[in-house]
């Protein structure tokens, strides 16, 4: 077997494993073995660039950057759907189409109405060539690079597929994955995403496809648009779903073929309640005339097909009394207003509280204490208040005045321009902030201090034993043993755990400091770049923004943190305690130091290695990557079709310009 054949074989093997895992939910290889094979393929592809294949499984990891999404005209218009909200509407629809078709022998395909972002994907000769959002139905945005990172979307089809066709479906973020993403955001001091649908559609428009690749997106397909139908034996909508499955697409098996309106109503009734058990959100069902010739006869109105009808579930809504509003203070000082409700049953759970988001929301809805409010569960997420029944309002009711002072420490709240939230600025004296910061410091993803839990931190604070994380290192056995429910063994575990945290690597410590917007990934980047906390503390706003993937918001927040002497004093104490405030050079295991002190930037389409690999190679040889062309840049490595960055570098005249090959030679 020559190298080309071997590469092909690896790709086919990986494609098959991928299909088994992500489409059929049936793993055929261990994660580890899969990763190893994928890495092997990456190595080979980097070596034999002449065998480049736009459908290679290596493209799944993302890395391509899209600055501006191109507008593409759909070759078949993406229509909307007519909606119905009652069983009578459905009966009317049935009568209407029976009349047009002059027949009462009509069968239907009933499908779920996936609540995500619709997508149109074009396949030519079995390869994914383009993916476009719905846009206004006539034209949408080219999001191919991002769609290719979704593992259940086939890049190369299997079986007996048509030569040239479009397929449509919905990009979805399953509920569990959505919650996981939000947990990470909240842990990083960021606002959680509102709902899976918006997050899914936002994910398609991310400029960095590696970020899209990291999100647990799914693509469920439901509609084939074949250019030359004569060549296929597809006669019904239901049959086309089976075909699509055979080509390798993920087509969920909830669709059902029925032959009467009774069948339709059964399907609707079933999913009206069963939807709560699905791992993803639906907002209704879609009924489609099954026979494709009948579909053609029925045709389209100006806006939607006559052969399909959506039945929308009512978002479950109940009315209850708003008893009071309380204000929660997060670890970053952000204030969240919470509605305390008279308990009420909604979508199977008792609801007592609902989020009010922020002051604007309360003002917009004019929500007042003792109001009868409508509470809705948008999907299965935290309930929200969607309106007020003003007819039931007491004539003495008064407009809600938003809190002006922190409920925990009485400090006057601040709200910066452009920020939706109010903040308590009393960072060092406000209990939930102080305790929250220490809790964050000891958490798993930070220093991971065993033997110490969140409740104990609160207790230690209450007893006046700690008020910053640096105080943890001064704790004495004799001080903690008298605490409530503290046995000798647990006291010793606590002391040992704190001691062991001196081994935590710098990046974890940096994350643990709890700088706003510095999540685990950003902390890693900053640690790698600055190598120790004091160089980071000295960095200016502009310097920080030059660091790859660090934006204005993060840069500002880092500067603000280190400008505060109280923070610097705490850092000094951590240093005295022996906490790692620099990266351990031994852990780095550099391949060489040939690039020491040199900065790099990669531009254009790289063909010999991915952007991530490139960065890795630079760092492995003691160099740095930066994000913009400036006097600080030493080398610009250009791939195919390099644009403005190359021009700018040439104009500067101080930057050495390298091809990919020259770069590889440089690092040997």
Active site residues: 113
By beta-carbon proximity to ligand AMP, the closer residue of 81 and 555 is 81
* Site pattern 582..621 for Zn ion (x: CB under 5 A): ----------------------------------------
Q: Which stretch binds ligand AMP (CB under 6 A): 41-49, 112-120, 291-299, 590-598?
A: 112-120
Residue with smaller CB distance to Zn ion, 121 or 430: 430
Enter the tokens of residue 462. 């209450």
306 binds, among Zn ion, ligand AMP, none (CB under 5 to 8 A by kind): none
Look at residue 409 and give the partner it binds from ligand AMP, Zn ion, none, a contact being a CB closer than 5 to 8 Å depending on partner kind: Zn ion
In contact, 8 and 44? CB cutoff 8 Å: no
Cα dist from 46 to 219, 613, 666, 668, whole Å: 29, 10, 17, 15
Establish if 408 lies at the interface with Zn ion (CB under 5 A).
yes
CB atoms < 10 A from the CB of 366, how many? 14
From the list ligand AMP, Zn ion, none, pick the one residue 203 interacts with, judged by a Cβ distance below 5 to 8 Å according to partner type. Answer: none
Among 365, 409, 483, 664, binds Zn ion (CB under 5 A): 409
Of 335, 325, 517, nearest to 412 (Cα)?
335
* Contact between residue 499 and residue 574 where contact means Cβ atoms under 8 Å apart: no
Inter-helix orientation angle 31-47/3-18, to 10°: 150
Selection from ligand AMP, Zn ion, none that 660 binds (CB < 5 to 8 A by kind) is: none
Can you tell me which of 406, 523, 550, 555 binds Zn ion, judged by CB under 5 A? 406
- 234 vs 547 by CB, closer to ligand AMP: 234
Point out which span in 292-300, 361-369, 401-409, 517-525 binds Zn ion (CB under 5 A).
401-409
Give the max Cα distance, the chain: 90
Name the binder of 430 from Zn ion, ligand AMP, none, CB < 5-8 A by kind. Answer: Zn ion
The yes or no reply on residue 286 touching ligand AMP (CB under 6 A) is yes
Q: Establish if 437 lies at the interface with ligand AMP (CB under 6 A).
A: no
Phi first, then psi: give them for residue 300, nearest 5 degrees. Answer: -125, 150
- What does the alpha-carbon distance between residue 608 and residue 595 come to, in Å, rounded to a whole number? 20
Q: Which residue is nearest to ligand AMP (CB)?
A: 118
Stretch that binds ligand AMP, among 107-115, 322-330, 395-403, 524-532 (CB under 6 A): 107-115
Site map for Zn ion, 418-437, x if CB under 5 A? ------x-x---x-------
Q: Is the CB of 291 or the CB of 408 nearer to Zn ion?
A: 408
Nearest to 87 by CA among 250, 285, 291, 383: 285
The backbone torsions φ and ψ at residue 497, rounded to the nearest 5 degrees and listed phi first, read: -60, -45
The DSSP annotation for 557-622 comes to HHHHHHH-HHHHHHHHHHHHHT---B--HHHH--S--TTTT-EEEEESB-SSS-HHHHHHHHHHTT
Pick one of ligand AMP, Zn ion, none as the site partner of residue 113 (Cβ within 5 to 8 A by kind). Answer: ligand AMP
Q: Which is nearer to ligand AMP, 220 or 602 (CB)?
A: 220
Among residues 170, 371, 507, 619, the one that binds ligand AMP under rule CB under 6 A: 170
Q: What is the β-pairing status of strands 635-638 and 656-659?
A: parallel
Residue 426 or 501: which CB sits closer to Zn ion?
426
Q: How many CB atoms lie within 10 A of CB 274?
A: 11
Residue 81 binding result from Zn ion, ligand AMP, none, given CB thresholds of 5 to 8 Å by partner type: ligand AMP
Q: Which of 222, 267, 307, 600 binds ligand AMP (CB under 6 A)?
A: 222
Among 118, 236, 237, 608, binds ligand AMP (CB under 6 A): 118
Residues 292-311 that bind ligand AMP (CB under 6 A): 310
Is 121 or 310 the residue whose CB approaches ligand AMP more closely? 310
Query: Which residues have C-beta within 8 Å of that of residue 558, sequence separation ≥ 6?
Result: 515, 518, 526, 536, 539, 544
Tell me if 81 contacts ligand AMP by CB under 6 A: yes
Decide which of ligand AMP, Zn ion, none touches 426; Cβ closer than 5 to 8 Å per partner kind: Zn ion
- 200-218 burial, b at 16+ Cβ within 10 Å, e below that, comes to bbebbebebbbebbbbebb
Dihedral sign from CA coordinates of 259, 261, 266, 271: positive
Based on its alpha-carbon atoms, the radius of gyration of the chain, rounded to whole angstroms, reads 29
Q: How far apart are CA 650 and CA 654, in angstroms?
A: 8
- Least separation in angstroms between CB 413 and Zn ion: 8
**Closest approach of Cβ 427 to Zn ion, in Å?**
9
CB of 285 to ligand AMP, least distance (A): 8
For residue 503, the tally of other CB atoms under 10 A from its CB is 12
CB count in 10 Å sphere of residue 597: 9
Query: Binding of ligand AMP at residue 108 (CB under 6 A)?
Result: no
From 108-116, 244-252, 338-346, 656-664, give the range in contact with ligand AMP by CB under 6 A. Answer: 108-116
d(CA 43, CA 6): 13
Three-state SS across 447-499? CCCCCCCHHHHHHHHHCCCCCCHHHHHHCCHHHHCCCCCCCHHHHHHHHHHHH
Residue 380 interacts, among Zn ion, ligand AMP, none and using kind-specific CB cut-offs from 5 to 8 Å, with none
Indicate the residue among 111 and 408 with the shorter CB distance to ligand AMP.
Answer: 111
Binding string to ligand AMP for residues 177 to 216, with x set by CB under 6 A, is what? ----------------------------------------
Give min distance, CB of 259 to ligand AMP, in A: 19
Q: Torsions phi, psi of 414, nearest 5?
A: -120, 155
Instruction: Mention every residue, 6+ apart, whose C-beta is less than 8 A from residue 80.
Output: 137, 303, 304
Task: Compute how many residues bind Zn ion; rule: CB under 5 A.
Answer: 7
Check residue 114 for interaction with ligand AMP (CB under 6 A).
Answer: yes
Residues 6+ apart with CB under 8 A from 14: 34, 37, 38, 41, 57
Shortest distance in whole angstroms from residue 411 CB to Zn ion: 5
Q: 491 contacts which partner out of ligand AMP, Zn ion, none, CB within 5 to 8 A by kind? A: none
Site membership for ligand AMP, residue 111 (CB under 6 A): yes
- Smallest CA-to-CA distance from 322 within 395, 401, 393 is with 393
166 contacts ligand AMP (rule: CB under 6 A):
no
The CB-of-195 to ligand AMP minimum distance in angstroms stands at 15
CB of 457 to Zn ion, least distance (A): 17
Least Å distance between CB 309 and ligand AMP?
10
Residue 559: CB partners within 8 Å, gap ≥ 6? Answer: 539, 540, 541, 544
Q: Confirm or reject binding of residue 113 to ligand AMP (CB under 6 A).
A: yes
Question: Cβ closer to Zn ion: 391 or 416?
Answer: 416
Contacts of 60 (CB under 8 A, 6+ apart): 18, 148, 149, 151, 155, 213
Residues that bind Zn ion (CB under 5 A): 406, 408-409, 411, 424, 426, 430
Which parts of this chain interact with ligand AMP (CB under 6 A)? 80-81, 111, 113-114, 118, 134, 170, 222, 286, 310
């Amino acid at each position: 077997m020559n190298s080309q054949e071997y590469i092909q074989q690896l790709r086919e093997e990986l494609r098959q494993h991928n299909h088994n895992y992500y489409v059929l939910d049936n793993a055929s290889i261990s994660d580890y073995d899969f990763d190893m094979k994928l890495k092997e393929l990456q190595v080979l592809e980097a070596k034999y660039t002449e065998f480049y294949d736009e459908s290679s499984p290596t493209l799944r990891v993302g890395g391509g950057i899209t600055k501006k999404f191109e507008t593409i005209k759909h070759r078949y218009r993406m229509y909307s759907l007519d909606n119905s909200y009652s069983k009578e509407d459905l009966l009317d629809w049935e009568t209407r189409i029976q009349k047009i078709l002059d027949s009462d022998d009509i069968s239907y395909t009933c499908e779920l109405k996936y609540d995500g972002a619709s997508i149109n994907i074009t396949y030519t000769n079995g390869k994914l060539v383009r993916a476009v959002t719905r846009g206004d139905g006539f034209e949408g945005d080219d999001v191919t690079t991002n769609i290719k990172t979704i593992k259940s979307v086939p890049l190369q089809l299997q079986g007996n597929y048509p030569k040239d066709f479009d397929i449509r479906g919905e990009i979805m973020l399953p509920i569990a994955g959505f919650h996981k993403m939000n947990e990470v955001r909240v842990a990083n001091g960021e606002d959680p995403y509102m709902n899976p649908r918006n997050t899914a559609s936002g994910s398609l428009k991310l400029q960095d496809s590696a970020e899209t690749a990291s999100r647990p997106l799914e693509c469920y397909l439901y509609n084939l648009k074949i250019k030359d139908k004569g060549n296929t034996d597809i006669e019904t909508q239901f049959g086309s779903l089976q075909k699509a499955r055979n080509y390798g697409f993920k087509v969920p098996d909830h669709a059902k073929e029925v032959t009467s309106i009774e069948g339709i109503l059964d399907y609707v009734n079933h999913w009206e309640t069963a939807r709560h058990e699905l791992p993803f959100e639906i907002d209704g069902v879609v009924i489609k005339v099954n026979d494709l010739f009948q579909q053609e006869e029925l045709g389209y109105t100006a806006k939607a097909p006559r052969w399909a009808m959506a039945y929308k579930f009512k978002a479950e809504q109940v009315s209850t009394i708003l008893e009071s509003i309380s204000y929660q203070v997060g670890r970053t000082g952000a204030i969240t207003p919470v509605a305390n409700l008279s308990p009420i049953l909604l979508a199977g759970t008792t609801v007592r509280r609902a989020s009010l988001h922020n002051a604007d929301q309360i003002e917009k809805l004019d929500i007042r204490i003792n109001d009868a409010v409508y509470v809705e569960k948008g999907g299965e997420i935290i309930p929200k208040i969607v309106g007020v029944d003003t007819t039931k309002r007491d004539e003495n009711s008064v407009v809600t005045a938003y809190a002006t002072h922190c409920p925990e420490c009485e400090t006057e709240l601040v709200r910066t321009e452009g920020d939706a939230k109010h903040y308590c600025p009393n960072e060092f004296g406000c209990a939930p902030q102080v305790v929250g910061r220490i809790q964050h410091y000891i958490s798993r993803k930070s220093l991971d201090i065993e033997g110490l839990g969140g409740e104990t931190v609160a207790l230690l604070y209450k007893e006046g034993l700690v008020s910053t994380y640096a105080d943890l290192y001064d704790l004495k056995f004799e001080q903690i043993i008298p605490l409530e429910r503290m046995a000798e063994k647990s006291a010793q575990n606590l002391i040992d755990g704190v001691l062991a945290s001196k081994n935590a690597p710098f990046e974890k410590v940096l994350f643990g400091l709890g700088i706003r917007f510095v999540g685990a990934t950003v902390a890693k980047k900053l640690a790698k770049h600055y190598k120790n906390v004091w160089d980071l503390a000295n960095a200016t706003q502009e310097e920080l923004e030059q660091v790859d993937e660090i934006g204005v918001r993060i840069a500002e927040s880092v500067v603000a943190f280190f400008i505060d002497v109280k923070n610097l004093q705490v850092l000094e104490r951590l240093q005295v305690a022996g906490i790692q405030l620099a990266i351990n050079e031994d852990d780095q295991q550099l391949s060489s130091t040939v690039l020491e002190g040199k900065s790099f930037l990669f531009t254009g389409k790289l063909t010999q290695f991915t952007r991530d690999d490139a960065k890795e190679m630079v760092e492995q040889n003691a160099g740095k990557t930066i994000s913009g062309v400036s006097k600080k840049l030493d080398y610009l490595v250009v791939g195919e079709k390099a644009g403005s960055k190359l021009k700018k570098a040439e104009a500067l005249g101080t930057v050495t310009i390298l091809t990919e090959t020259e770069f590889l030679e440089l690092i040997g």
